[in-house]
Structure 1
């Protein structure tokens, strides 16, 4: 008897340990906000079909890098998952159900598929919150093999990783220690929060403040005192005309982050909100 794939509950997630936070389940929970009729079981079954197709092939080789090469070949060459370069900021690239359906995604959603397939086959693949594009990493004898899910799982050497990090580090290439730190495995919570930050950014850019507020709200379900998410939800509430919510969130943001660069303008907004003179547009 097939057991249906159950989704977690938003109200429980803040208290769940990072290691216990379900990656696929929470990604589908994020997608269900936008697709209320989403059938989680369908996507778990779709993922498991990738796993079953690969099992014999992966079991027939000994080394993890060779096992991973077989997984990448199947996902990217045979099934056709690929990075959506043409419409990179399409929100569908962040919703995992759409990634399964369209075989298109952004770096983090494609990494999520890779990670789930690999781990179900016993391969300890992790995500890497690399600056710019999200990556994945696999332990090997002399260190880690780093791969780019947006480019068909292509391996990246140290030189390329340093060059990719440079624009995000004031033009400085990271030394060995800094690069090692950047390549630390991302927790499930960090991965899911990055998905939600991407969605917030897309919706804010489009002035879709209801969805921007929702994305920030979901971030706060994962990490209730996340200062940036409080600010983002408060500013989205302002745009929506929900002044009480804006006042509460911005006040909490300033309490958590009193020396923030934007604290001055936000304090002025709070004063206006409290005096009832705030205009939202």
Structure 2
């Protein structure tokens, strides 16, 4: 995962995803080619949600209504900027986002049925007003950008957090818990809650990540749960979606190969491992994948 300090950027208008696999594939590949400052994180999340529905033969939600709900909140957020005319301190930015997202929009963390797949489907999250930390964080990022605020997701492990960057100070907040601002002691407590009492903070945990990594993290939630529940067919579909966004990611190709191998799809595993060897950034990992490739090829002969 690349760690970055994000640039200020205002989202483009949202569009309903296309309804065919060919068009959605082209759209997701185009998102994947977006530069760091141009990746349309909410649009890409809507498109990937639509693609997942096609993969599972599920009906589409009313995407126009979903987008209208977000536009209503975006306009409410933008009205604040028009009234005040200047960017406030970071903590006041968080307060305003809380009013728009939690008090007006009624978005909350999915305390019940936390592991339900709909909590990582951005269209369902918008319809139900419930989601995971990362899916709610993605929406906070979108609304903050509509205000012209400088916002980024963080590399915090186990529980997604976001940061608003002010002119003088920044504010880290928890999108899952009503945008509560977290002080250093809160960050340590959160880390220990998810990783045990011996876990210690690292500077990497509060580094900013690319917008596409926010969406990737959301998809990884689905992948990890599918693997944990031995739903390999579902897991490989998630990896296919990730590869549309990042076709040059050797780790994703390796994951695809391993899952296909476990499913007995040996020819698909060979193709995936071949792509992994070509795209893997670390030589040691490339050597490891080459051995996996040789193993699967021997099974085909």
Common topology (TM > 0.5): yes
SS in structure 1 at match of 2:75: helix
Cα distance in 1 for partners of 2:156, 2:109 equals 17
Residue 234 (structure 1) aligns with: 257
**Is the CA contact 1:165–1:173 (under 8 Å) kept in the aligned structure 2?**
yes
Per the normalisation by structure 2, the TM-score is 0.78
- With over 3 angstroms needed to count, the CA separation of the structure-2 counterparts of 1:144 and 1:246, relative to structure 1, is same
Cα distance in 1 for partners of 2:186, 2:14 equals 43
Residue 104 (structure 1) aligns with: 130
SS in structure 1 at match of 2:35: coil
Residue 53 (structure 1) aligns with: 76
Residue 88 (structure 1) aligns with: 114
SS in structure 2 at match of 1:118: helix
1:173 aligns with 2:200: yes
Residue 284 (structure 2) aligns with: 259
**Is the CA contact 1:48–1:117 (under 8 Å) kept in the aligned structure 2?**
no
1:207 shift after superposition: 2.6
Query: Which residue, 37, 41, 52 being the options, matches 1:34?
Result: 52
Residue 6 (structure 2) aligns with: none
Higher relative contact order (CA 8 A, sep 6+): 2
1:172 shift after superposition: 5.0
Residue 162 (structure 1) aligns with: 188
1:251 shift after superposition: 4.4
SS in structure 2 at match of 1:131: coil
Cα distance in 1 for partners of 2:189, 2:248 equals 34
1:201 aligns with 2:224: yes
**Structure 1 gap ranges (5+):** none
Per the normalisation by structure 1, the TM-score is 0.83
Residue 16 (structure 1) aligns with: 34
- With over 3 angstroms needed to count, the CA separation of the structure-2 counterparts of 1:147 and 1:210, relative to structure 1, is same
Residue 15 (structure 2) aligns with: 5
1:263 shift after superposition: 3.6
Stretch moving more, 12-21 or 143-152: 12-21
Cα offsets for 1:230-260 (capped at 9, x unmatched) = 1221122224332111122234435635534
